Structure 1
Amino acid sequence: MNKLSLLFVVNVATLVCLLQVQSCQGWSAGDILFKYQGKYKHHEEWRWWKTTHAKNYASHQEELERHLIWLSNRKYIEQHNANSHIFGFTLAMNYWGDMTDSEYNDVHKSYEPTNKKLVSNFPVFETPQNLTYPDSLDWRTKGAVGSIKDQMAYQCGSSYAFGAIGALEGANALANGQLVSLSEQNILDCSVPYGNFGCSGGNVYNTFMYVIANSGVDTEDSYYYKGRQDECSYSSNNRGAKMSGIVRIKSGDESSLMAAVTSVGPVAVAVDASSNAFRYYSSGVFDSSRCSSSSSTHFMVVTGYGTTNGKDYWLVKNSWSSNWGMNGYIMMTRGNYNQCGIATDASYPTL
């Protein structure tokens, strides 16, 4: 709702209030709107959504404005789902529902490119000879993938930390036979000298370089997630894993990415997550020609691959809670011209 429309509604509501000879003294514009705009549309659904995502608003006016945005986004989701048989995937309302497109992009973007000259110093993955590929692979079933985490409970642009930590958790579990949840907060607080920016974005390479130089990263239990940058409190007594090197995937090469996921384990990737279709993804194989292969915005972890209904996909772990996507995961189209940049900026740690 623009300012002119909002002013018109307030003035009409005020007039109605006065004509009914009711006292409007002390009423704010938001109070008048709340009383005379009638009940919120889809009231029960709106109330459930607010509770589920812990949404609270400072005033009736703010809630009304957010509700109108939510209704607009809800309509977009309904229109998409009416044609989901064409798109091949469905959408659902989630945490992002009361944000405009620009607000969403301001909040979710956490990708910061790393110096290309620096990255070129890291070895490039080479596909092992005679590597065999299973029809499908899911590292969750092999104890190499931790539970879904939630970076957005605090609107913190920290996907780089979750992407890097997710890949390191996998490498550590496969090497040591035990899955240990590691601390993203440790990365937020301590990796700034290596080129990251706390809740304002960063890069997986910078994160890996910090862990190498620091000789480790703490466990999540000892250094829990706050969703804001704080004083660095790393303690070697609470170290959960360490690493010694970084291997990068040839940029844009999905075949190399598949070989790495098959032979090594979970791999950190950067993708373009800026579209509304990605924002509200719910199920099916995500396939969108509007998804850029060169403009990454968000880090995730590839944890496997497969084929469903004739469509090849990557199984990718996100960090937007289990309320997003398929219990926190997304199936992204595989072998489709590096769509969304799934292999543009991919890497994994070596222990």
Structure 2
Amino acid sequence: AYHTNRLIRREKEGGITDNPHLPSSLTEAMRIPGLKSGPRKPENDIFIVHVDDKNDQLEDSFLLRGSICLLAKAFIFGVLCFVVAFVLAYFLLETRDELQQDFTKFMEIYGKSYESEEKMDEAYAYFRENMFDLERERSRQPGVEFGFHQWMDQHFSTFSQKFSLGDRTLPPMEGVSRFEGFEERVNRPGEFSLKDKATPVKNQGSCGSCWAFATVASVETANAIAGNPLVALSEQEMIECDTRNTGCRGGVRSYAMSFVKDNGLVPESTYPYTAKEGEQCHIGNTTKVYIKDWRLLSQSEDAMADWLFKTGPITFGMNVTKSMYSYRSGVFRPTEADCSTKSEGSHALTLMGYGSERGQDYWLVKNSWGDYWGDGGYFKLARGANVCGMANNVVAPMF
């Protein structure tokens, strides 16, 4: 009655035959007199019950195999975890050793020393953080070379202040119209450079005078294009004498161009740069360089390239990213997030050419962070995508 799906057989001397005395079903078994619970015990004959356990054996086999499989997987997973932990530990140790070697090299290159062990530990912590950011940028921009800079042992917000980013845009109430492009198509070459008509790269130091350096660099080159001698002109004059701008606290390039148009620029040799604001303006009687006018250019980078080839250099402003300080060579293309949420401010620069490298169009840009920075003081900025808002506020001198 308990195993209705199993075969019950009777064993006799003549062999195994079906037992006619057994009930054929559970219902029939329940009708047997005296059967209250459990199977009815035969009185005369001895019966041997054989149960077909093939299904149970298969089920047990599957369970056994599953258990073995789970144990094997657990063992393999444990081995993999051990290997990963070992490799990670080795990698971290190797990375730490490399960072310590890089920090030692950094200290030697820039002559760094620290007054206490605590100060050195703090400097190393900032260096490590900046190096991790640098490695991420190298992975993201494999075609660009990045390297040390002398402020790697400081927080980004601290060393970015060393450059005192001070570019400001022209207030909209001025209502200055933009130059949208030449009427006739400009047949310009694929690559072009004005470096041979540029003065050596200068260094603004810790004064927020990038607006003056970008303006002066464009006027110097435009003056040479006009057939005049290439002469280094004075940024210090603009810092101390241009009353519409605020010296080391920043300035507007269009105001600076108006100053050059109305007042002219003296040679740098007669009014040298000090990286700070003096008490008064003292120009004296000397030769000056003037411009006829200036233009606010179109935001079209094709129109900008046309102007650069046909007329001369252009000043522009862009948001500076952390990775820009470590730039060495290649076409620099920061992300939109780097240009906005991770930027420390706007910086004024000068376009001196354009070209293409490994299929990437670029602008050739002159900076004012000294010739030890970047590629001799220059860098290549991705062209055609308004990187970091570089095409939003473009101002150029006219001779």
- Does TM-score exceed 0.5, indicating one fold? yes
2:228 maps to: 177
Root-mean-square deviation (CA), in Å?
Answer: 2.6
The answer to whether residue 306 in structure 2 is matched with residue 259 in structure 1 is yes
In structure 1, what residue type is equivalent to 2:108? W
Could you tell me which runs of 5 or more consecutive residues in structure 2 were left unpaired when the two chains were aligned.
1-99
CA distance in 2: counterparts of 1:172 and 1:58, whole angstroms:
49
Whether the aligned pair in 2 keeps the contact of 1:92 and 1:280 (CA below 8 Å) is yes
The answer to whether residue 117 in structure 2 is matched with residue 80 in structure 1 is no
CA distance in 2: counterparts of 1:282 and 1:302, whole angstroms:
18
Name which structure has the greater RCO, CA cutoff 8 Å, separation 6+: 1
**Superposition deviation, residue 227 in structure 1:** 0.5
Query: Which of 321, 333, 348 is residue 287 of structure 1 equivalent to?
Result: 333
**CA distance 1:44–1:95, change in 2 (3 Å):** closer
The answer to whether residue 359 in structure 2 is matched with residue 304 in structure 1 is no
Q: What TM-score, normalized by structure 2, do the two folds share?
A: 0.68
The answer to whether residue 108 in structure 2 is matched with residue 48 in structure 1 is yes
CA distance in 2: counterparts of 1:343 and 1:234, whole angstroms:
35
CA distance in 2: counterparts of 1:69 and 1:213, whole angstroms:
47
Higher mean alpha-carbon deviation, 71-80 vs 171-180, is at: 71-80
The answer to whether residue 130 in structure 2 is matched with residue 70 in structure 1 is no
CA distance in 1: counterparts of 2:240 and 2:293, whole angstroms:
21
Whether the aligned pair in 1 keeps the contact of 2:237 and 2:283 (CA below 8 Å) is no
Largest Rg, 1 or 2: 2
Whether the aligned pair in 2 keeps the contact of 1:77 and 1:93 (CA below 8 Å) is no
**CA distance 1:316–1:49, change in 2 (3 Å):** same
1:200 maps to: 249
**Superposition deviation, residue 105 in structure 1:** 4.2
Q: What TM-score, normalized by structure 1, do the two folds share?
A: 0.77
**Superposition deviation, residue 280 in structure 1:** 1.5
Whether the aligned pair in 1 keeps the contact of 2:165 and 2:250 (CA below 8 Å) is yes
Secondary structure of residue in 2 paired with 1:241: coil
Could you tell me which runs of 5 or more consecutive residues in structure 1 were left unpaired when the two chains were aligned.
1-39
**Superposition deviation, residue 43 in structure 1:** 5.4
Secondary structure of residue in 1 paired with 2:270: coil
Superposed counterparts of 1:1-351, under 5 Å: 42=102, 44-51=104-111, 61-62=118-119, 64-82=121-139, 84-85=141-142, 88-107=143-162, 108-118=164-174, 120-121=175-176, 124=179, 126-141=181-196, 143=197, 145-152=198-205, 155-191=206-242, 193-194=243-244, 196-214=245-263, 216-250=264-298, 252-273=299-320, 275-290=321-336, 291-292=338-339, 297-336=346-385, 338-351=386-399
Whether the aligned pair in 1 keeps the contact of 2:313 and 2:352 (CA below 8 Å) is yes
1:34 maps to: none
Deviations 1:62-117 (A, max 9, x none): 454334312321232234335542xx312111133233122244443212222122
**CA distance 1:170–1:156, change in 2 (3 Å):** same
Whether the aligned pair in 2 keeps the contact of 1:80 and 1:90 (CA below 8 Å) is no
**Superposition deviation, residue 259 in structure 1:** 1.1
